Amino acid sequence: MSSQRRGWLPVAVGIGIGVNTARLHSRVRTLETIETTTGDTDPADLGVDPSAQPDGSPYLLLTCSGVRLTGAQRQAAQAYAARRGLDVLDLVPSTFAAHRLLDLARAVDPATFPSRRLARGRGAGVAVLARREVLVRAGLLAATESVRGPADIPGPAGDAGTADVSGLTAAELVTLMRIGKRHAPVTTDLAVLPGLAVVDEGGTDRFATQRAAYVWEPAKLAFPVLRDGAILLAAGGCPPAALAALALSWLQPVLVGGQRIRVPMADLAGSPRRRRRDGARQLRERTVSDRPAAAAPPRTAPGSLGGLRRELLTASVRPDPALLARSRRAYQADLAGGLDRFREPAQARCPWCGAGDLVSHRQGRDVTQGKPGTFRLDRCTACGHIFQNPRLSLDGLDFYYRDYYDGLGASVMEELFGFDDRVYLERARQPIPTPRRWLDVGGGHGHFCNSARTVWPSTAFDLLDMGAGVEAAARRGWADEVYRGQFPELVGTLKGRYDVLSMFHYLEHTRDPLAELDAAADVLTPGAHLLIELPNPESPAARWYGRTWPGWLIPQHQHLMPAANVVQALDERGFEASEPIFGEVHQPGDPLSVPFGLLQTCTPAPSNPWGTADEGSRRLRLRRQAFAAALAPAFAAGLVLDGLTRPYLTRGTRANAYRILARRR
């Protein structure tokens, strides 16, 4: 790198730090401050019958070690939450350590956090005020548990209030905010509580807290390290600019906190050294965290703390070793019986049009989970319908779906489906009259039902699916009513109840998509709408990315229908279908499926219970990590390719998916 280029690098980094400082400051400035001179609050003002709770409060206060609230502070926080209709309130100290202030500002945008129903729940990790009812629905608290008492820490003499549950870690409180946001999507918020004090742990728990906040976004933890590396790399080219960038980085916490949150000057003096020391510690602890769960017991033993089910807060994203062992035994027993029993006899005729002109279209394997088996997709030359032949038996469906959406794969799917709510909002914005009731068929955990309320706040959203996610949607309040079972078998229960019925990427999973359309025609009355979204097997992406194309999703996708086939089938069943929409329905990420498929097939995770690898093998884990690192340029190139090809794929009928809105005649 030339000295001229190295001279511009610290200047660019300094400008970046300045822009980011302004962005983070605007976030902190958005935080509201709780007024602590409210005086006594009538329990009735908090929406509670005093006889229903031992302390007359519907809220439970959960704090980290060493944090104490006076009676006035707790009462003010409760009054603030009650006035705003909040179920979960993260309490932010008005004086905060530099590194923790920056961590909070990076993690949460208070301006959009309350209204974004799928925003990641994060907080300061100091104190959380939560309605007991929410904790009960989340499974953190038994319905009959009063909690008050066992974990109380006596406050100063004369205090009317004490901490309900204390002794939690910052990481556990951040996890609590994530759970709370899921169960109270638009009634979770943050606010500054004046006088709230927190013991500075010196950064010892920072890695665990950061990992809890960015459990599925570990790359974000590397940004400060990359910034410092860029400054040091180019310091020789322009020392004054490098020093200015470092000085701005040093003062950043004070500038970010502004008048809202103060950073102690004593803490600021050592802040640069501490933050960089913490970064090095995170790198060291990352190596420890990659060891098998059995080799590194949790720092805090699970158990009950004042009635709180703390094991749900201390749980890692890694499955419990005992659960993995049970799953491994079950899978090995299934595999011992052979794979042939997972398939039905091959079909000689097209299941869509009945023609016998079938040709082999594609062979593939499971490249998402890496479960064994090879599968064939046939195409009907008469109508273009593509289907799995032979199709999976019921036992086969159970085997290949197991631990994908539920079970061991539930946390991954939770994050994947909740990553961005824009797709759900776009699906909900349809040119139809305001629906009274909307049924989402095949809606999984209810992410669409949750997000769509932003568009249709007066509509009741119900959910139907085969998996256990429907129960989670009911507990969280994402769906008003839930049905677990096969859609065609529930027609009698559902008939005439709905104005809109949606099937987003559902029909391709079913054994008989025409029977599903028959059921939709039976359920909906004249004037009601059916909204369907499907992968487009005629998209160029289906050819470009081969068997790894997400639209194939072998072996789960059993049918792929050209849009014209679906329009014709709807017309035959009494629907008036609009012209299929392609461009705006295109889903990003197709190129990333290639390196991901290579990772899953070449170096499968040793912990996969359906595999034969030793789950405790450090060699295999290191091999997978090394291969993933080697594929990093491919993932980066995939992101670039995705952006470059989008203009081409979103024109005409080239998109990787399409949507049809149909009205029942």
Q: Is residue 41 predicted with pLDDT exceeding 70? A: no
Give me the mean pLDDT over the 188-216 stretch.
79
- Of 24-28, 130-134, 296-300, 425-429, least confident by mean pLDDT is 296-300
Task: Give the per-residue pLDDT at 8.
Answer: 78
Q: Is residue 38 predicted with pLDDT exceeding 70? A: no
Give me the mean pLDDT over the 234-247 stretch.
78
Average pLDDT value for the chain? 85
Task: Give the per-residue pLDDT at 160.
Answer: 36
Give me the mean pLDDT over the 401-415 stretch.
86
**H or E stretch including 619?**
helix 618-630
Do you find a cis peptide bond into 591, omega within 30 degrees of 0? no
Strand order in the sheet with 127-131: 32-33, 188-193, 88-93, 127-131, 59-64, 165-168
pLDDT digits (tens, 9 = 90+) for 532-555: 999 999 999 999 999 999 999 999
Q: Is residue 55 predicted with pLDDT exceeding 70? A: no
The residues with which 192 forms a beta bridge, in sequence order, are 33, 92
The residue that leads in pLDDT, 147 or 614, is 614
Give the model's confidence band at 50: pLDDT under 50 very low, under 70 low, under 90 confident, else very high. Answer: very low
Task: Give the per-residue pLDDT at 154.
Answer: 34
The span from the first CA to the last CA of the chain, in angstroms, equals 68
pLDDT digits (tens, 9 = 90+) for 481-491: 999 999 999 99
CB 91 within 8 A of CB 129: yes
Dig out the tokens for 314 from the structure.
């201390």
Q: Is residue 302 predicted with pLDDT exceeding 90? A: no
Decide: residue 295, CB within 10 A, 0-12 exposed, 13-18 middle, 19+ buried.
exposed
Q: Is residue 662 predicted with pLDDT exceeding 60? A: yes
Other C-beta atoms lying within 10 Å of the C-beta of residue 33: 15
Question: What span, in angstroms and rounded, lies between the C-alpha atoms of 237 and 5?
Answer: 8
pLDDT digits (tens, 9 = 90+) for 629-654: 999 999 999 999 999 999 999 999 99
Give the model's confidence band at 301: pLDDT under 50 very low, under 70 low, under 90 confident, else very high. Answer: very low
Task: Give the per-residue pLDDT at 306.
Answer: 55
Tell me whether strands 460-465 and 481-484 are parallel, antiparallel or unpaired: parallel
Do you find a cis peptide bond into 292, omega within 30 degrees of 0? no
Dig out the tokens for 195 from the structure.
């006088």
Dig out the tokens for 451 from the structure.
């997000």
> CA triplet 540, 542, 545: central angle to 5 degrees?
100
Task: Give the per-residue pLDDT at 288.
Answer: 42
Handedness of CA 36, 40, 43, 45 (dihedral sign): negative
Give the model's confidence band at 224: pLDDT under 50 very low, under 70 low, under 90 confident, else very high. Answer: confident
Q: Is residue 151 predicted with pLDDT exceeding 50? A: no
The residues with which 91 forms a beta bridge, in sequence order, are 127, 191
- Of 8-17, 201-210, 282-291, 406-415, least confident by mean pLDDT is 282-291
Decide: residue 374, CB within 10 A, 0-12 exposed, 13-18 middle, 19+ buried.
exposed
Give me the mean pLDDT over the 507-516 stretch.
98
Task: Give the per-residue pLDDT at 418.
Answer: 84
The percent of residues in the chain predicted with pLDDT above 90, rounded, is: 62
Give me the mean pLDDT over the 351-360 stretch.
96
Q: What is the pTM of this model?
A: 0.86
The percent of residues in the chain predicted with pLDDT above 70, rounded, is: 83
Q: What are phi and psi of 523, to 5 degrees?
A: -75, -40
Task: Give the per-residue pLDDT at 304.
Answer: 44
Tell me whether strands 32-33 and 188-193 are parallel, antiparallel or unpaired: parallel
Q: Is residue 450 predicted with pLDDT exceeding 50? A: yes
Q: Is residue 137 predicted with pLDDT exceeding 90? A: yes
pLDDT digits (tens, 9 = 90+) for 320-353: 778 888 899 999 999 999 999 999 999 999 999 9
The residue that leads in pLDDT, 129 or 294, is 129
Task: Give the per-residue pLDDT at 654.
Answer: 97
CB 191 within 8 A of CB 33: yes
Give me the mean pLDDT over the 32-51 stretch.
58
Give the model's confidence band at 145: pLDDT under 50 very low, under 70 low, under 90 confident, else very high. Answer: low
Give the model's confidence band at 282: pLDDT under 50 very low, under 70 low, under 90 confident, else very high. Answer: low
Going by C-alpha positions, the residue among 474, 475, 499, 503 that lies closest to residue 488 is 503
**H or E stretch including 471?**
helix 469-476
Task: Give the per-residue pLDDT at 232.
Answer: 74
The residue that leads in pLDDT, 277 or 424, is 424
List C-alpha distances in Å: 217 to 106, 107, 171: 13, 11, 15
Q: Is residue 295 predicted with pLDDT exceeding 70? A: no
Give the model's confidence band at 162: pLDDT under 50 very low, under 70 low, under 90 confident, else very high. Answer: very low
CB 172 within 8 A of CB 314: yes
pLDDT digits (tens, 9 = 90+) for 554-604: 999 999 999 999 999 999 999 999 999 999 999 999 999 999 999 999 999
Give me the mean pLDDT over the 457-469 stretch.
95
Give me the mean pLDDT over the 82-109 stretch.
94
Task: Give the per-residue pLDDT at 193.
Answer: 96
Question: What span, in angstroms and rounded, lies between the C-alpha atoms of 664 and 343?
Answer: 36
Q: Is residue 286 predicted with pLDDT exceeding 70? A: no
pLDDT digits (tens, 9 = 90+) for 63-76: 998 898 988 999 99
Q: Is residue 445 predicted with pLDDT exceeding 70? A: yes
Q: Is residue 105 predicted with pLDDT exceeding 90? A: yes
